[in-house]
Chain A
């Protein structure tokens, strides 16, 4: 039973989050002494993967210096990037492996920790079969680690259940792009954005989640382009939007059907492109006939005039782009939402040219690269499908195993937790994933974790999920191993090692290799360093969709990254996909697919009459395992607040700062109100970075998109009520509840 050995308060006292403000050596010393070296690398956080130089002194990261030569961000950084260096030399850092006892975690030797993990996982598999153990990975890991983890699960453990937290990020986008265009990669480099005449940003709080993209949008407007923002909230980029469409949560498919309806009614479609380069147009055109502006307005809450205007602008532009992120993807019909955007671009011929195309904005640091090389439940390296016999044969040959011995497709991340809850999966090894904060219906996730017979965690801090671990293997930060990631642009870039792991902590790749050896499969994992892993990855991806064979670490540094596919060492890379109308399906064409408007999984009713939508704030990243330990970032947003429109607040007698209880069909959460006119009155918003009683994911539901298996974070039913401020608590709503920071 993987229950935390101590109370949450006690675990927080020992393992944090502790807020770190000051660099190693203090402010004065660090300013006086020059660094030993400046390491050119990339930010550890989001999919923008900004170039940054880390200042290193005495094997510690003491600060940063902007890296102006890296073309994507040219020195620009968001506050997370500026303060990322404070995750190093952190008092909460795990310096030794830990083993759970009755009264708490104790330090253990590596031999004991690795041996225990291997023996316990093996025992479970011997009793219950290979698939009774699962592996969960993360999209912040460098590609070498993701590749290694996929191989580890399939060869060292022989389980088919390996998936990763990118499953809760943007898989519905990846699925839709594969279905429509034959490849899971965003089509355009970001340098295309300023060349567009119209850019739609749908369901993306660019200013807070991808701040660097803001400059690209503003440059597009300075060039005379128009910005259209689709969001239930007026996020900061909306301050300069030329048109704002306040869509009702969950109604994106209808909105884009309505826009396409007007485009076709006005004859703004690109007939020649449709005829030569696509299939399936007629069915889509037929479907959107019913979505006239008035009906669309009724469904979406966007005015018919605004729908007409968006359609005319997008349809008339010479080059138009549609950027989208989690706002349209986090739905039980996330694939349809994205398909509806792709359909609009295909119908207007906006793809495969500078400044034209649908584009997904990748969320996690290696969100793109982390899903290409084998930690996804249905994929083998090179974005090959695991059920494709040719792919199995090729990869099995690279790995030196019998193709028949390779496990088949396994369960997705959320389904793995459900299988644990049902008792089918009994052992779990997890790295770089904090499902207790990041998966929906946190109460259910906690029950599942408690049921595990064995839970092994590789991590650098003791996350809330790791509280449940039997063994914690003290792993490494991004700046402690050398390798590659693929940014949201599709640009493969080089991550350079700045420092060694502190204390007895070890590089993640070494931990996984050692674990494979303890499982008796060391012969398949002869990797002295990440370089050898990378070289095997290159070969394993060769000939696949995401072909990295021509990528070398040296080229990446020299050429400031390479856009895949890069099939050979003399290949220049592929910054823009689909040029000349060449799509990646066997027929070479793009496929229109009908995106039907479907209801979500947690419908409103009189008891739960409001939409709850969740998302992020600029100073925190995902489940906050790193950013909730960095003082200045916490000070910027000390706790989550519930955004409520004044119309709705007035109905409930709620003033700014009052405590509000938000209740869904699963749980209640009480937080201070942020009363703002920048949100629809039928919708409330809570950022999700916090654990325990402050966790927005106590409220969200487990409905998955049937094809992509992404959870529906962006649309739950809820009600609100003013909560009494408990005696002794500050009236301004500052809360210090369990599981605080």
Chain B
């Protein structure tokens, strides 16, 4: 969908796994979910975070692929590995700074999010961003994103000295102090 961008806001995620379930409903890979959802540390917090492919400008997965199986389209979307080429060596999974590609050994294939290429090419929004109840995953125009959100989206990441630019944007939380997540910290108890 021309002019639309993908935005991830981990702070909105409620860990419901709607995206995980919906991803597996996409036509091209029905039955296989490619999205990642992690609970950060359930003992301390309910916080969770979804991870889609960030679609890097210069994708490490493609660079590291010995079989030249991973292609980036002119639209900036980095596709899943090409089935005839992929040798399931896992180089891509090791190289990706965001930990996105999943190697399906039983299928001898790397699969990852391709931003619902089958849907966006026919004017439908990606499945995960359509269903996400908290809109932690959002697919809108930049103007719409600016209207809807007060946080700032970024698409430049520093891994050590390496800078990675991505097609997908990530919202960073507003400047905040240390976060206490223990209920006890909020409870009132009479002086003992």
- Answer whether residue B60 sits at the interface, using C-beta atoms and an 8 A cutoff: no
Given the known interface contacts A76-B132, A79-B16, A79-B17, the answer about A219 and B148 at a Cβ–Cβ threshold of 8 Å is yes
Please tell me if B91 contacts chain A, counting CB pairs below 8 Å.
no
A221-239, CB < 8 A from B: 222, 224, 233-239
Q: Which of chain B's residues has its CB closest to A633's CB? A: B21
Is the C-beta of A114 less than 8 angstroms from some C-beta in chain B? no
List residues of chain A with CB within 8 A of the CB of B17: 79, 618-619, 636
Complex-state Cα separation, A222 to B134, whole angstroms: 12
B42 interfacial contact with A, CB 8 Å: yes
| Contact assessment for A218 and B12 in the assembled complex, using a CB-CB cutoff below 8 Å | yes
B187 interface neighbour in A28, A236, A246, Cβ under 8 Å: A246
Rounded to whole Å, the gap between the CB of A69 and the closest CB of chain B is 12
Which residues of A have CB within 8 Å of B148? 219, 222
Interface size on A, residues (CB 8 A): 63
Nearest CB to that of A296 among chain B residues? Answer: B188
Bound Cα distance from A31 to B15, whole angstroms? 27
B16 and A678 within 8 A (CB): no
Chain B residues numbered 59-75 whose CB sits less than 8 Å from any CB in chain A: none
Q: Which 4 A-B pairs have the closest CB atoms?
A: A27-B31, A207-B14, A211-B133, A303-B188
**Which of B12, B18, B46, B182 contacts A78 (CB under 8 A)?**
B18
Chain A positions within 8 Å of B, measured between CB atoms, are 22, 27-28, 30-31, 63-64, 66, 68, 73, 75-79, 81-83, 207-208, 211-212, 214-215, 218-219, 222, 224, 233-240, 244-246, 297-298, 300-304, 306, 618-619, 632, 636, 645-647, 656, 674-681
Which residue of the partner chain, among A77, A218, A239, contacts B131 with CB atoms under 8 Å? A77
In the bound complex, what is the Cα–Cα distance between A240 and B174 (angstroms)?
12
Report the interface size for chain B: residues with CB under 8 A from the other chain: 43
- Bound: A317/B45 CA distance, A: 30
CB distance from B117 to the nearest CB of A (A): 15
B43: Cβ under 8 A from any A Cβ: yes
Query: Within 8 Å CB of A298, what residues of B?
Result: 190
Min Cβ gap A632→B in Å is 6
Q: Is B2 an interface residue (CB 8 A)?
A: no
CB distance A66 to B183 under 8 Å? Answer: no
Supply 29 A–B pairs (Cβ within 8 Å), ascending by A: A30-B30, A31-B27, A31-B28, A66-B130, A66-B131, A68-B125, A77-B131, A77-B133, A79-B16, A82-B21, A208-B14, A208-B16, A211-B16, A222-B150, A224-B150, A234-B46, A236-B14, A237-B14, A239-B45, A301-B188, A303-B186, A306-B188, A619-B17, A645-B184, A656-B43, A675-B43, A676-B44, A681-B183, A681-B184
Closest CB in chain A relative to B150 CB, distance in Å: 5
8 additional A-B pairs beyond A22-B31, A207-B16, A656-B43, beta carbons within 8 Å, are A31-B28, A63-B30, A222-B150, A224-B150, A236-B16, A239-B14, A297-B188, A618-B17
C-alpha gap A681/B135 in the complex (Å): 32
In the complex, which residues of chain A have a beta carbon less than 8 angstroms from the beta carbon of B187?
246, 301-303, 680
Task: Say yes or no: is B158 at the interface (Cβ < 8 Å to chain A).
Answer: no
Please state if A75 and B16 are interface contacts (CB–CB under 8 Å).
no
Set A68, A73, A82, A236: member contacting B46, Cβ < 8 A = A236
Listed residue (A22, A28, A82, A214) with the most chain B CB atoms within 10 angstroms of its CB: A82
Q: Residue-by-residue, is B1-45 near A (CB-CB < 8 Å gives 1, otherwise 0)?
A: 000000000011011111011101101101100000000001111
Contact A64 B186 (CB under 8 A): no
A301-B189 in contact (CB<8A)? yes
In the complex, are the beta carbons of A76 and B46 less than 8 A apart?
no
